[in-house]
Chains A and B, each alone.
Chain A
Amino acid sequence: MMKNREYQQIDPQALATPTPTPPPRPLPEHELKPKRARRKWEVFPGKNRFYCDGRIIVARQSGVLPLTLGLILLTSGLFFVFDCPFLVKHLTSCIPAIGGVLFVFVVISLFQTSFTDPGILPRATPEEAADIEKQIDNPTGSSSSYRPPPRTKEVIINQQVVKLKYCFTCKIFRPPRTSHCSLCDNCVERFDHHCPWVGNCVGKRNYRFFYTFVVSLSFLTAFIFGCVTTHLALRSQGGNGLVFALQASPASALELVVCFFSVWSILGLSGFHTYLVAANLTTNEDIKGSWSGKSGNEDVGNPYSYNSMIKNCCSVLCGPMPPSLIDRRGFVPSDDSVQTSPVEVELPAAKNDINMCTHGTKGLLETASRSPLLTSSCPQAKPQAAPAVLEPLPEVTPSPALEPAKTTAGRQSTSTPHKHHSHHRSKGKQASHHTHKTSNSSPRPHHSHSSRRKDSKNRDPKFSSLR
């Protein structure tokens, strides 16, 4: 039977021990092909970087993620060390508890936003691209010298006409709400924006993490601000004055400054995103005014909205978690004739996020039963099947040895491209004129993360790319 043919190629010793020890990576699939099988993340065409053997994905430039993390850790650290003892003594020990919970939420959701695949769409295979090209009518015939005009396809969704654009990089017609991020060079589903603060795109899969991050950060900032104010107020009681209080606890002054400048922008941002969630909109759509009835077209409305705030919130934040579509940890199929049945080494679930690493063993049996069907028609090339069975339970925690080496390389690249927060330059039709149609929060200023930084690098966050 087919399964037997697969297993002939597998090293029986390795098969006997599918334990959480990583297999020797350069597993020779065949005597004639000593080249080791590469994982798909190694040949990923986008501009992302991968760590921990493909478990962690980040954008090419980490942006100001180190700064974000540093500020959070610093401020929280100072709070716990300098303010909490006083407040516990004078008020209640709930304060560090609440602060601790908020801090944990903030850090975890930050990491998840940064390291999760935002919903990247894999690029089309050559056959797919050729098939789409065939379907598109090109009357001029030989168009090899110039790029044909942008192709669009129209679709009716919920009685709305929605234009699907053709992506020349990924060679697909972008699904609705999908946008191509020029920084990451990927099409991302339900593209919201590219956030340099978290160093990643925010899209379908990590929007809920991003929202949790922003909301919990605003709570944390407000909480620390309040506590520090209380601390200083209590200290300056008894006629000693504020100056004395500040001298007694200088760290509080620093925290006060950081929190004061960040709380407005972060609160504003969480207000803005709460509005987006309730309306089932993305930042991208809101900026472009896709559904706001511009140009006098009153029939336009958001076709994706359920017309119920609660349902919108639930579907965006509590909906099912879609799988990652890029098979990061799968193996690249061997060159020849594999186009028939591409390699699917692990289940979609097992491959992707660090969150889902533990599904490796669960997927083993399933994968083994699937791989006979899915491996190449060339009977000799079995890099796919072998690792499928051998795939161990991946470690959940990132390997520290690998990370610092690569992270330092990444940090050096915070350069000019990141001066502006561009999420999709080519779509910036509305130029710099950004109007908030309905918003719970105050207009533009609340988005300016720039206020958070001491030096005034004026980075108008999401909208500067519209220039």
Chain B
Amino acid sequence: MAETHSLQDLRQAAVASKVFVQRDYASGTICKFQTKFPAELESRIDKQQFEETMQTLNNLYAEAEKLGGRSYLEGCLACLTAYTIFLCMETHYEKVLKKIAKYIQEQNEKIFAPLGLLLTDPIERGLRVVEITIFEDRSIGSR
């Protein structure tokens, strides 16, 4: 029977393996990750849950890279100021990256950690992969 873990417990747990979810380039160069459920996670997490998480991540990245009125405005303004505006303003992309970081942390706390998994923010892997660390399922008392 699986013990529930908190994030603290994960620190003491040993890493059993890592799963890497690669990028999906079918839509071009935009940042999008494959939503296919990796076989190694079958015993750990619900497929539906996983796909939902990935889909939300993909939507967030799509929002960051969306070409719309707002990004054009930002781009034009930046161009007119010889891009010095980047010194004082946080770009839209950065704002969404923060949102993504928060979302991943939430997901880790609520869903993944109790199952002995840990999602790594793709930005730390150069937006190449979503790294999911699978911890050994030891019996650790949860706090």
Size class of the contact patch on chain B: 35 or more
Per-residue CB proximity of A276-315 to B under 8 Å, as 1/0?
A: 0000000000000000000000000001100000010011
A136 at the interface (CB under 8 A from B): no
Within 8 A of A (CB), among B58-73: 64-67, 71-72
Could you tell me if B67 and A319 are in contact, using CB atoms closer than 8 angstroms?
yes
Could you tell me if A317 and B79 are in contact, using CB atoms closer than 8 angstroms?
yes
- Tell whether A355 pairs with B120 under 8 Å between CB atoms, given A155-B25, A157-B26, A320-B92: no
Residues of A within 8 A of B82 (CB): 104-105, 108-109, 212
Could you tell me if B86 and A355 are in contact, using CB atoms closer than 8 angstroms?
yes
Per-residue CB proximity of B22-48 to A under 8 Å, as 1/0?
A: 010111110000000000000000000
Could you tell me if B123 and A325 are in contact, using CB atoms closer than 8 angstroms?
yes
- In the complex, A208→B90 CA distance in Å? 18
Residues of B within 8 A of A155 (CB): 25-26
B143–chain A nearest beta-carbon distance, Å:
10
From A162, A327, A377, B12 is in contact (CB under 8 Å) with A377
Could you tell me if A321 and B67 are in contact, using CB atoms closer than 8 angstroms?
no
Could you tell me if A175 and B29 are in contact, using CB atoms closer than 8 angstroms?
yes
Residues of A within 8 A of B105 (CB): 369-370, 373
Q: Which of B64, B94, B97, B102 has the most CB of A within 10 A?
A: B94
Could you tell me if B28 and A304 are in contact, using CB atoms closer than 8 angstroms?
yes
- Tell whether A319 pairs with B83 under 8 Å between CB atoms, given A155-B25, A348-B123: no
From B87, B118, B128, A341 is in contact (CB under 8 Å) with B118
- In the complex, A303→B78 CA distance in Å? 28
Residues of B within 8 A of A319 (CB): 65, 67, 71, 75
- In the complex, A155→B75 CA distance in Å? 30
Could you tell me if A344 and B124 are in contact, using CB atoms closer than 8 angstroms?
yes
Residues of A within 8 A of B108 (CB): 373
Residues of B within 8 A of A348 (CB): 94, 97, 123
B111 at the interface (CB under 8 A from A): no
Which residue of the partner chain A has the closest CB to B93? A320
Could you tell me if B25 and A176 are in contact, using CB atoms closer than 8 angstroms?
yes
- Spot the interface stretch: A20-28, A218-226, A356-364: A356-364
B1 at the interface (CB under 8 A from A): no
A366 at the interface (CB under 8 A from B): yes
Per-residue CB proximity of B79-102 to A under 8 Å, as 1/0?
A: 100111011101111100110011
- Tell whether A339 pairs with B15 under 8 Å between CB atoms, given A2-B8, A176-B29, A355-B86: yes
The number of residues on chain A lying at the interface, defined by a beta carbon within 8 Å of a beta carbon of chain B, is: 71
Which residue of the partner chain B has the closest CB to A5? B8
B133 at the interface (CB under 8 A from A): yes
- Tell whether A358 pairs with B88 under 8 Å between CB atoms, given A124-B128, A320-B93: yes
B46–chain A nearest beta-carbon distance, Å:
22
Within 8 A of B (CB), among A168-189: 172, 175-177, 189
Could you tell me if A112 and B83 are in contact, using CB atoms closer than 8 angstroms?
yes
Closest 5 CB pairs of A and B: A318-B75, A349-B94, A355-B86, A325-B126, A122-B126
Q: A residues near B, CB below 8 A?
A: 2, 104-105, 108-109, 112, 121-122, 124-125, 127-128, 131-132, 155-158, 162, 164, 172, 175-177, 189-190, 208-209, 212, 303-304, 311, 314-315, 317-323, 325-327, 337, 339-342, 344, 347-349, 353-359, 362, 366, 369-370, 372-374, 377-379, 396
Given A112-B83, A359-B94: 4 more A-B contacts, CB < 8 Å? A158-B28, A344-B124, A349-B98, A377-B10
What would be 30 A-B contacts, judged by CB atoms less than 8 Å apart? Answer: A104-B82, A108-B82, A108-B84, A124-B128, A128-B128, A157-B25, A172-B128, A208-B75, A208-B83, A303-B28, A304-B28, A315-B67, A318-B74, A318-B76, A319-B67, A320-B65, A320-B74, A320-B92, A321-B74, A322-B93, A325-B123, A325-B126, A342-B120, A348-B94, A349-B91, A349-B94, A355-B83, A355-B84, A366-B98, A396-B87
